[in-house]
Structure 1
Amino acid sequence: MTHYSNGIAAGEIAGAKWRKSRASAPTGTCVEMTGLPDGGAAVRNSRDPEGPALIYTRDEVEAFLVGVKSGDFDFLL
């Protein structure tokens, strides 16, 4: 199984199918995510599709999504 590290060029992630939220800004300033074979996820800046990607483990993604759903980050709005 391929292991990816933070900062890898997003274009080097084999088989990546990048997606952005339907709630993204129409100006194109958003982040995109793709799933990784180990269950983790990669995140990139949609304005720099070949730039660096941040890599998160499955546990990190799960913890973040639980936090979002339970309102832990509502203070950012």
Structure 2
Amino acid sequence: MSTYNGISATELGDVAWQKSRRSNSIGNCVEMAKLPDGAIAMRNSRFPNGPALVYTQAEIDALILGAKDGDFDNLLG
């Protein structure tokens, strides 16, 4: 299977979607899953059958480490 940005999350098969413990009960969360080829998929939990964005491990590493460093604190509500 070839993955691409915008692929339907259902086309990714049986992957283990994970969301943050900070997610709330009204569905305000993003879910991520490691794909068999090592890429990371991201989807909106409110639309679990909708499109998924697919990133490399290096891209996710940069995002998570940047968030830990406070690079995106200006986006907090």
Q: Same fold (TM over 0.5)?
A: yes
TM-score norm. by structure 1 comes to 0.89
- Cα distance in 2 for residues equivalent to 1:35 and 1:74: 26
- Cα distance in 2 for residues equivalent to 1:71 and 1:34: 23
> Please, which runs of 5 or more residues in structure 1 have no aligned partner?
none
Identity %: 54
> Please, which runs of 5 or more residues in structure 2 have no aligned partner?
none
Equivalent residue for 1:37?
Answer: 36
Q: Answer whether contact 1:38 1:58 (CA < 8 A) is retained.
A: no
Aligned-residue Cα RMSD (Å) equals 1.2
- Cα distance in 2 for residues equivalent to 1:9 and 1:3: 12
- Report how many aligned residue pairs link the two structures: 76
Higher strand share: 2
- Cα distance in 2 for residues equivalent to 1:36 and 1:76: 28
SS at match of 1:53: strand
Instruction: After superposition, give the CA deviation of every residue in 1:8-62 in whole Å (9 maximum; x if it has no partner).
Output: 1001102211111110022112111101122221011111111000001111001
- Cα distance in 2 for residues equivalent to 1:60 and 1:3: 19
Cα gap change, 1:55 to 1:31, in 2 (>3 Å):
same
Equivalent residue for 1:57?
Answer: 56
Pairs within 5 Å for 1:1-77: 2-77=1-76
Q: Which runs of 4+ in 1 moved over 4 A?
A: none
